[in-house]
Amino acid sequence: MTLLLAFDDEAALAAKLGAALGVAPRLVARHRFPDGETRLTLPPVLPERVVLLRGLQQPNDKLTELLLAAAGARELGARHLTLVAPYLAYMRQDMAFHPGEVVSQRHLGALLASAFDAVVTVDPHLHRVATMDEVVPGRRGVALSAAPLLGAWVASRRERPVLIGPDEEAAQWVQAAARAHGFDAGVGRKHRRGDRDVVLELPPLDIAGRDVVLLDDVASTGHTLAVAARQVLARGAAAVDVAVTHALFVGDAVAALHAAGVRDVWSTDTVPHATNVVSVAPLIAQALRATTDDG
């Protein structure tokens, strides 16, 4: 028997994942003390196999609680502990670009490997590292992709759209979504000069009079997507939409996209947001069943 355990602020996705798995999720209760520390309460007796659901957006607030919950679950009976982190933070820093920089992907991966037997995530920001097994050394790492799901959503809403990734790093997701539905697709090049200062070179596709969908794995400030939206509209696109896996969207990011001419913004529920239209629960459930079957 496998128990699905989730933090209380993950209840919506936990309910969908539980329904897909045919189990009733249990919640980790939290009490925050005035000094900022947190008391966690788990079910007092746990089965040998436990799946812990915890997205790691706003990771600095969540990692301590996650590691404490994992240790507590071991004390309460869990022998095989799987982390499902629909969004996995600190993946983009996979090498030291300047002397002294801490390679966060390597060290977070080591921390998770010390606490969990397996880690399942969706569209992690992996580029110079090929697999999640490398991120969590000695443990099982599973990287799922929501790109085909987003492609199916786009296909149900737009006829003959052109998919464009704003930069080279989006290529894997654009290709996966386009391949499944026969979309025309291309990927641009990005030159970043700062967090909100980017120069884009979009692919030489004929987009005049066409619906364009900008597809990416994650959007935070939305600035790159806004720049891309203005460019495709200036090149004669009939309309432009945005589809992303992880809707981090800090501050007024969505308003900025609409101000740039974006019609609709779509995302998966890896990160809870008003733009969520596609659930990754069935995708994760399928992976968990395969992980259980493989032992």
Q: How would you class 102 by CB atoms within 10 Å of its CB: exposed for 0-12, middle for 13-18, buried for 19 or more?
A: exposed
Q: What is the pLDDT of residue 25?
A: 96
User: 176: pLDDT confidence band, cut at 50, 70 and 90?
Assistant: confident
* Residue 168 predicted with pLDDT over 90: no
Q: Which two tokens stand for residue 98?
A: 């300047």
User: 127: pLDDT confidence band, cut at 50, 70 and 90?
Assistant: confident
pLDDT in tens, 260-293: 999 999 999 999 999 999 999 999 999 999 876 5
Asked if 169 contacts 189 with a C-beta cutoff of 8 angstroms, the reply is no
Report how far residue 157's alpha carbon sits from residue 219's, in angstroms, rounded to the nearest whole number.
21
CATH 3.40.50.300 fits 2-145+280-293, yes or no: no
Q: Which two tokens stand for residue 146?
A: 């929501």
Q: Are strands 197-201 and 189-194 parallel, antiparallel or unpaired?
A: antiparallel
User: 194: pLDDT confidence band, cut at 50, 70 and 90?
Assistant: low
User: 195: pLDDT confidence band, cut at 50, 70 and 90?
Assistant: low
* Residue 219 predicted with pLDDT over 80: yes
Q: Which two tokens stand for residue 101?
A: 């920089």
Q: How would you class 59 by CB atoms within 10 Å of its CB: exposed for 0-12, middle for 13-18, buried for 19 or more?
A: middle
Report how far residue 49's alpha carbon sits from residue 39's, in angstroms, rounded to the nearest whole number.
23
Catalytic residue flag (residue 190): yes
**Mean of pLDDT values over 153-175:** 90
Q: Pick the catalytic residue: 125, 139, 158, 190?
A: 190
User: 28: pLDDT confidence band, cut at 50, 70 and 90?
Assistant: very high
Q: What is the pLDDT of residue 190?
A: 74
Asked if 246 contacts 91 with a C-beta cutoff of 8 angstroms, the reply is no
User: 198: pLDDT confidence band, cut at 50, 70 and 90?
Assistant: low
- C-alpha triplet 254, 258, 261: angle, nearest 5°: 145
* Residue 102 predicted with pLDDT over 90: no
Instruction: Please state, as a whole number, how many other Cβ atoms lie within 10 Å of the Cβ of residue 43.
Output: 16
Report how far residue 57's alpha carbon sits from residue 249's, in angstroms, rounded to the nearest whole number.
11
> What predicted TM-score, i.e. pTM, was given to this entire model?
0.92
Nearest CA to 132 among 88, 78, 67, 70? 88
pLDDT in tens, 38-80: 999 999 999 999 999 999 999 998 999 999 999 999 999 999 9
Asked if 215 contacts 177 with a C-beta cutoff of 8 angstroms, the reply is yes
Report how far residue 243's alpha carbon sits from residue 246's, in angstroms, rounded to the nearest whole number.
9
Strand partners, 71: none
**Mean of pLDDT values over 128-146:** 88
**Taking all residues of the chain, what is their mean pLDDT, rounded to a whole number?**
91
Q: What is the 3-state secondary structure of 37-56? A: CEEEECCCCCCCEEEEECCC
**Mean of pLDDT values over 24-31:** 95
pLDDT in tens, 145-158: 999 999 999 999 99
Give the neighbor-by-neighbor strand order of the sheet with 239-247.
Answer: 184-187, 162-165, 211-219, 239-247, 262-268, 276-278
DSSP conformation class of 119: E
Q: What is the pLDDT of residue 131?
A: 82
Q: Which two tokens stand for residue 233?
A: 């509209």
Report how far residue 186's alpha carbon sits from residue 227's, in angstroms, rounded to the nearest whole number.
16
Q: What is the pLDDT of residue 83?
A: 97
**Mean of pLDDT values over 245-261:** 96
**Mean of pLDDT values over 184-208:** 78
Write out the residue limits of the CATH 3.40.50.2020 domain(s) in the chain: 2-145+280-293, 147-277
CATH classification (class only), 147-277 = alpha beta
**Mean of pLDDT values over 198-210:** 86
